[in-house]
Amino acid sequence: MSEFKVAPANASAGVKLLTWVDNRFPATKLWKDHASEYYAPKNFNFWYFFGILATLVLVIQIVTGIFLVMHYKPDATLAFASVEYIMRDVPWGWLVRYMHSTGASAFFIVVYMHMFRGFLYGSYRKPRELVWIFGCAIFLCLMGEAFMGYLLPWGQMSYWGAQVIVNLFSAIPFVGPDLSLMIRGDYVVSDATLNRFFSFHVIAIPLILLGLVVAHIIALHEVGSNNPDGVEIKARKDANGIPLDGIPFHPYYTVHDLMGVVGFLILFSAVVFFAPEMGGYFLEANNFIPADSLKTPPHIAPVWYFTPFYSMLRATTDDMLVWFRIIVAVAAILALWKGRFGGLGKLLIAVGAVLVLIGIGTLKITGITALSGCDAKFWGVLVMGGSVLILFFMPWLDKSPVKSIRYRPGWHKAVYGVFVVTFMILGYLGIEPPDPLKTAISQIGTLIYFGFFLLMPWWSQMGTFKPVPDRVTFHAH
């Protein structure tokens, strides 16, 4: 046990209190380790606002959620009316509800931007693989939290959206029907489903989410923050062990981040007060109609932040699976040929590719149907899930000799640009009713999306790379 610190006799009451706390809890040590003596690269730019903004939105969601739960009734016969009661009769209830609904969309906006910054500057590369994995797990939890929370207003789109998504689990071979029944708690979306989703949305997933956020920050501060140059600042330190290109997070970046926070809150407030529905993208018109199990809406679509993945689900038809086989085969060959994998890695790639190629379901080739396992619905679910899970493998898919986009070949920027545009197009198509043309575009977009990742071990090494500086490049504002 370490010796107790003793405050000077003439110390102020505040210093004495802090000393008393420090002897029992490492408050000052935590502050120094994670703020005043945590050295971050001095060349952070605009893209580094989104980490703190994600934390801010998480706090907004938790606080507004607490106030909503005070008045919400998790009962199929009362849920919709309780939301209307919050909106109309609870003092400032409309503001709390709109802050929560807008916050859900804002959360995904800042998280998507935060993840894209990681793409640009290689923040998933060694030694930050675990930081990235924790971040992807946060994203996965966030999707579950948003999906389950979307059912709680018990409107038409909430009800039928949950019905469609939960039914997708029934496509999983052998366990699918029982799994979807367990998730719903009934044979259709009902009061049992509402209670399950409420408990997960309010208690279970937030606890997991908070734990992952803490793990994400601890892992980040253990290895240090990345920067736009992709240069490790810990490699060069002065005689006192302080990075030459680092500055204390507090006060420099706490003040710096305040600018981003103020700018975000201005935009957030503008949406909350003047356009909380955002033209039907944040709050759909059908969700202002009570859920009716006997009346199906003409077009069922998830909220905008799920639509890119939903679009990939709808794009996975029998014909699409033929092309998917081709891209998997090409990716496996290039990964084995060009990828820097060990013997075990190559074996896993080869076995995985063979299983995918054999397992893909009903294929229609020149009018001949070859049955080889599962149907397109199952593979659609697998594609939708795989489009998220593949993000976890980014640290090992990117074989570029440099981290940052600044020092990669110019055409790499075009590749990232095509990826972003494709993702946005898929998001738009997921909102729209399907037709043959939109389905074909979605299929092309799905192939581009997976091609970006599966071919990354090959294309990320191509081209002429610029020399990376020994120290970070910094220009004072």
Bind-site residues for a ubiquinone: 221
The Cβ of residue 437 has, within 10 Å, a number of other Cβ atoms equal to 9
- Token pair of 352 as six digits: 């995985």
Contacts of residue 461, defined as CB under 8 A and 6 or more positions apart, other chains included, come to 338, 399, 400, 401
Backbone phi and psi for residue 246, each to the nearest 5 degrees, phi listed first = -110, 155
Instruction: Answer whether 362's CB lies under 8 Å from 318's CB.
Output: yes
Instruction: Answer whether 349's CB lies under 8 Å from 363's CB.
Output: no
Backbone phi and psi for residue 88, each to the nearest 5 degrees, phi listed first = -105, -35
> What are 418-422's contacts with CB under 8 Å, separation 24+?
418/448, 418/452, 419/448, 419/449, 419/452, 420/116, 422/448, 422/449, 422/452
Burial label, 89 (beta-carbon count in 10 A; 0-12, 13-18, 19+): exposed
Show binding-site residues for heme b: 100, 114, 201, 216
- For residue 318, give Cα distances in angstroms to 195, 266, 326, 374: 37, 47, 14, 11
What is the rounded CA–CA span in Å between residue 209 and residue 201? 11
Instruction: Answer whether 364's CB lies under 8 Å from 319's CB.
Output: yes
Tokens 């994998």 — which residue? 341
The Cβ of residue 9 has, within 10 Å, a number of other Cβ atoms equal to 6
The Cβ of residue 120 has, within 10 Å, a number of other Cβ atoms equal to 17
Backbone phi and psi for residue 419, each to the nearest 5 degrees, phi listed first = -60, -45
The alpha carbon of residue 105 and the mean position of all alpha carbons in its chain are separated, in whole angstroms, by 12
